């Protein structure tokens, strides 16, 4: 094995992957319980609850390109993206706990405002970490397969985190007779775990000479050269003064969208799939409570979804090495769409059989996460090579904004479906019954609508233009084939 083919150090792969404890926790727990907390504990109307969650996510969409621009600027001036990542990791646990710390009895309107402001601050902290975190793989290694390995293990940790937070969070909540106390303890425990995971990941952010490229990433990490590196290809320059305030940040974001067709295609696919998975995530608790008639069944739904995902994430990595990331991504998406569509049977015969299609969806979900995440650094490095300047922060800012928008709109679509089908909200301790239309709406939001969204994304996957030969030199491709 040549020096150019030596893999990333295991410590770097592990520390980067641990960051997904934070991203998995924040993406999962609010999406799973926040709308339900608002409607069934605080008595907030369904549409208003959806608006609260959506407002924070829209704020993310607004600020993520700016944070990406600041990240590029920090790299140019100070040689690292780490500082803002640390700020986000330290502040998020505080704001996350405040989100679920609404005092009992203050009324639905005041409760909704409290949650909106606290969750807005939480989302801001998360973006400070997540935007530069998403852009790091393009800097950590130039190798096509090395990025697949890096992102595969990130998704393994991500799926474990989804399982722990998705199944464990409600269990912590249910350990207390008082719902308000249960939610608060859940938020404190989860917030600390999220923050610690993020802090570990900040340690892999490369340090290099400000506004220069003399320092190689592997030198910074005291590790052997990154795999499949091409000595003949000079590293793109980091613009010394990227952007120009928030207007410049949006200008740069629009610029990377315009100049990279591959990015436009990949982002549109990921947003559609984020909308589908966000809708199913927000609906899981409602399915458990009103379709399966067991609020605790949400834990089993998550185990059924995530256990196969943990096992299958490395398998999708192997598949990608043999047939390409884009083809593997297409297969994973198609399988997920079929599994989601099968869940429509809940409308006619709810029962334990539901865990089988959920498990199939989980196996496919691993590929739907790891492969596009491994394709994003390919897009970033290809763009840098073509245009001669590195805009990883701008790319990751737009990507995170799109991902956030997709997940947020999932909760919004659910709240609209609930409102249209006559869902009855309640406060803690109040017993209500849902009509047949509301139950059917929950099932459709958990099955047919997500399946249609993922099926539509397959059109975009077919249009993705990059292949292995576009990312690595011909010699590296031939070596990989052999």
Compute CA 150 distance to the chain's CA centroid, rounded to the nearest angstrom.
Answer: 16
- Which residue reads 């008639």 in tokens? 293
- Condensed to tens digits (0 to 9), the pLDDT of residues 253-311 reads 788 888 889 999 999 999 999 899 888 887 888 999 899 988 888 888 878 887 888 88
- Condensed to tens digits (0 to 9), the pLDDT of residues 377-390 reads 889 888 888 877 77
- Condensed to tens digits (0 to 9), the pLDDT of residues 199-235 reads 999 999 877 654 444 344 344 344 444 333 333 334 4
In order of their start, the domains of the chain are: 9-209+248-481 (1.20.1250.20)
- How many Cβ atoms are within 10 Å of 209's Cβ, its own excluded? 10
For the ranges 90-99, 300-309, 471-480, which has the lowest average pLDDT? 471-480
pLDDT at 478: 39
Query: What's the rounded Cα separation, in Å, for the pair 127 and 23?
Result: 10
Query: What's the rounded Cα separation, in Å, for the pair 119 and 107?
Result: 18
Per-residue pLDDT for 474 more than 60?
Answer: no
Q: Is the pTM of this model over 0.75?
A: no
Per-residue pLDDT for 1 more than 60?
Answer: no
Taking the chain, what is the end-to-end CA distance rounded to the nearest angstrom? 13
> Higher pLDDT residue, 450 or 52?
450
Query: What's the rounded Cα separation, in Å, for the pair 75 and 271?
Result: 27
Dmax (CA) of the chain:
69
Query: What's the rounded Cα separation, in Å, for the pair 21 and 197?
Result: 5
Question: Tokens representing 341?
Answer: 């569509």
- Which residue reads 């402001």 in tokens? 117
For the ranges 25-29, 106-110, 219-223, which has the lowest average pLDDT? 219-223
Beta bridge partners of 237: 389
What's the pLDDT band for 181 if we cut at 50, 70, 90? Answer: very high
Question: Tokens representing 357?
Answer: 């299609």
DSSP 290: I
């Amino acid at each position: 094995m040549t020096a150019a083919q030596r893999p990333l150090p295991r410590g770097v792969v592990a520390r980067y992957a641990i960051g997904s404890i934070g991203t998995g926790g924040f993406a999962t727990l609010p999406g799973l319980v926040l709308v339900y907390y608002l409607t069934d504990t605080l008595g907030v109307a369904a549409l208003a609850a959806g608006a609260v969650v959506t407002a924070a996510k829209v704020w993310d969409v607004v600020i993520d390109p700016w944070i990406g621009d600041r990240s590029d600027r920090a790299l140019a001036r100070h040689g690292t993206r780490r500082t803002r990542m640390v700020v986000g990791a330290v502040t998020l646990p505080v704001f996350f706990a405040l989100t679920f710390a609404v005092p009992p009895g203050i009324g639905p309107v005041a409760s909704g405002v409290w949650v909106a402001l606290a969750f807005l601050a939480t989302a801001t902290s998360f973006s400070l970490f997540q935007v530069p975190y998403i852009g790091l793989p393009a800097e950590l290694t130039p190798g096509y397969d090395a990025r697949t390995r890096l992102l595969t293990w990130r998704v393994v940790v991500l799926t474990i985190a989804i399982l722990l937070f998705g199944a464990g969070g409600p269990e912590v909540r249910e350990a207390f007779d008082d719902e308000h106390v249960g939610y608060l303890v859940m938020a404190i425990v989860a917030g600390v775990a999220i923050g610690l995971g993020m802090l570990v990941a900040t340690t892999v952010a490369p340090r290099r000479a400000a506004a220069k490229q003399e320092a190689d990433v592997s030198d910074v990490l005291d590790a052997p050269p990154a795999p499949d590196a091409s000595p003949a290809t000079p590293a793109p320059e980091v613009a010394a003064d990227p952007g120009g305030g928030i207007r410049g940040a949006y200008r740069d974001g629009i610029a990377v969208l315009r100049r990279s067709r591959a990015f436009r295609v990949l982002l549109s696919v990921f947003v559609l799939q984020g909308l589908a998975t966000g809708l199913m995530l927000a609906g899981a608790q409602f399915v458990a409570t009103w379709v399966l008639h067991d609020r605790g069944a949400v834990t089993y739904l998550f185990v059924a979804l995530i256990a196969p995902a943990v096992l299958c994430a490395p398998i999708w990595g192997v598949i990608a090495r043999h047939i390409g990331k884009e083809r593997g991504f297409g297969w994973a998406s198609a399988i997920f769409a079929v599994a989601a569509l099968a869940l429509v049977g809940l409308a006619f015969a709810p029962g334990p059989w539901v865990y089988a299609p959920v498990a199939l969806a989980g196996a496919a979900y691993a590929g739907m996460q790891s492969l596009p995440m491994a394709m994003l650094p390919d897009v970033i490095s290809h763009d840098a090579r073509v245009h001669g300047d590195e805009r990883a922060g701008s790319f990751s800012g737009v990507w995170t904004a799109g991902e956030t928008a997709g997940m947020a709109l999932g909760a919004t679509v659910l709240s609209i479906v609930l409102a249209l089908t006559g869902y009855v909200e309640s406060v803690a301790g109040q017993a209500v019954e849902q009509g047949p239309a509301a139950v059917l709406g929950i099932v459709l939001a958990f099955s047919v609508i997500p399946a249609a969204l993922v099926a539509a994304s397959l059109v975009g996957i077919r249009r993705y233009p990059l292949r292995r030969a576009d990312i690595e030199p011909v010699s590296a491709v031939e070596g990989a084939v052999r």
